[in-house]
Structure 1
Amino acid sequence: MDPPVVSADRLDGWRRVDQATDRAFVAGPVSVTASTVVYERAETPVPRPFCFASRLQIRPDTAPNAALTRLVERRARAGFRDRLAERGIETVERRGDREIAIDDPAASRASLWTFRGGCRIDADLSASDGARGADGGDGADGPVPVEALLAVWTTDEYLLAGGAYPLGDEAYPGGRTPDDARRELLGIVRGVRSPSGT
């Protein structure tokens, strides 16, 4: 199963770091497989901004419906917290939710959740990357504050996209800001499409 299509024109400065298909979860008779692609911002600050897009395959084959959407959203939020934890982002708190429009005219509006957490930085990793943490140091002064976004929506299938980026202007070279990172991530999310919709 192919992952969703991420608009190449929105990935300037990003590099693909992973692509995988795995069993996302099983709930009673329903099994869900996710095909996911992950990108990182190719810049020196640690933690690096990342984004991902996933396409879900549900068995037995079931069209999106309200009950299934609630299940997918609940499991997506839990899985996203796990993804953040794998990147060292801890003490994650949900900060709000809203709906956003997706560029694909065949798509529903997406449910978007905002989270905040702190990313612990391995000082050895920072030094080996030649990078400095968002606190301007080597990451030893404490967790770097991070904001994370997760969106879930439907076409004729379920799609997920999101990512995270450090907060604090010190994390961004060349005059970029966390607001720029948020706008960029939202643009990437809005441009994600099902392979069948390209």
Structure 2
Amino acid sequence: MDPPVVPTDRLDGWRRVAETTDRPFAAGPISVTASTVRYERTDDPPPRPFCFASRLRIRPETTPNAALTRLVERRAREGFRDRLAERDVEAVERRGEREIAVDDPAASRATLWTFRGDCRVGTDEGVVDADGEESGARDTVPVEALFAVWATDEYLLAGGAYPLGSDAYPDGRSPEDARRELLGIVRGVRSPAGGGDGGDGEDDE
């Protein structure tokens, strides 16, 4: 199963780092397979912003419906928290939930959650600073994470995270830039079979 399509015109400065297929959860007779692609920013110091997009295949084949959507959203949020933990993001708290439009006109509106947490940086020996040097004790950097779920004739997930401190970015970039960029990528994700015109979405906030 191919992963979702991520708009290449919104990936300037990003590098594709992984493509995986796994079975994130099963619930009774329902099993879910996810095909996921993940990207990281290449020109920001650690912890670098990252984003991902997943396409779900549900067996037995089931048309998206309200009950199934609630199940997918709950399990997908749990999986996103696990994804953040794998990237050393701790003390994750949910800060908001809202609906946003995605670029695909055939898709539902997406439910978007905002999380905040602290990312551990460095190694046990010390902290990696913006120049890549280790110094001092292990430290944390506050991060914000966005995660969205929506449906076409299948379920799509997309999200990512970025540091909140302005000193985590090179000159000319800021956390606000990172947020707008991530939202644009999320909105542009679509199923491989089509949907969406790849146009730029604007933030609803």
TM-score (norm: length of structure 1) = 0.93
Moved over 3 A (4+): 123-130, 137-141
Offset of residue 182 of structure 1: 0.2
- Show CA shifts across 1:61-102 (max 9, x none): 000000000000000100000000000001000000000000
Q: Which residue type is aligned with residue 179 of structure 1?
A: E
**36-45 or 81-90, which moves further after superposition?**
36-45
Distance 2:16 2:116 in 1: 24
Indicate if the aligned counterparts of 1:121 and 1:139 stay in contact, CA closer than 8 A.
no
2:143 equivalent to 1:165: no
Indicate if the aligned counterparts of 2:101 and 2:109 stay in contact, CA closer than 8 A.
yes
Indicate if the aligned counterparts of 2:118 and 2:141 stay in contact, CA closer than 8 A.
yes
How many residue pairs end up in the alignment?
194
Distance 2:44 2:136 in 1: 13
- Return 5+ residue gaps in structure 1 as ranges: none
Identity of aligned residues (%): 74
Indicate the structure with greater helix content: 1
Offset of residue 130 of structure 1: 4.1
Offset of residue 143 of structure 1: 1.1
Name 1:103's counterpart in structure 2.
103
- Show CA shifts across 1:102-128 (max 9, x none): 001111000000000000012469659
- Return 5+ residue gaps in structure 2 as ranges: 196-205
Name 1:58's counterpart in structure 2.
58
DSSP 3-state at the match of 1:197: coil
Alignment of 1:168-187 (within 5 A): 168-187=165-184
Indicate if the aligned counterparts of 2:35 and 2:56 stay in contact, CA closer than 8 A.
yes
Indicate if the aligned counterparts of 2:3 and 2:55 stay in contact, CA closer than 8 A.
yes
Going from structure 1 to structure 2, the CA distance change for 1:126 and 1:46 (only over 3 Å counts) comes to farther
Indicate if the aligned counterparts of 2:64 and 2:154 stay in contact, CA closer than 8 A.
yes
**42-51 or 188-197, which moves further after superposition?**
42-51
Alignment of 1:111-190 (within 5 A): 111-123=111-123, 127=128, 130-131=131-132, 138=135, 140=137, 142-190=139-187
Name 1:86's counterpart in structure 2.
86
Distance 2:136 2:143 in 1: 13
2:36 equivalent to 1:48: no
Indicate if the aligned counterparts of 1:121 and 1:140 stay in contact, CA closer than 8 A.
no
Indicate if the aligned counterparts of 1:120 and 1:139 stay in contact, CA closer than 8 A.
no
Distance 2:16 2:38 in 1: 6
Offset of residue 44 of structure 1: 3.8
Offset of residue 175 of structure 1: 2.2
Offset of residue 138 of structure 1: 4.9
DSSP 3-state at the match of 2:193: helix
Indicate if the aligned counterparts of 1:13 and 1:41 stay in contact, CA closer than 8 A.
yes
Going from structure 1 to structure 2, the CA distance change for 1:127 and 1:92 (only over 3 Å counts) comes to closer
Aligned Cα root-mean-square deviation (Å) = 1.9
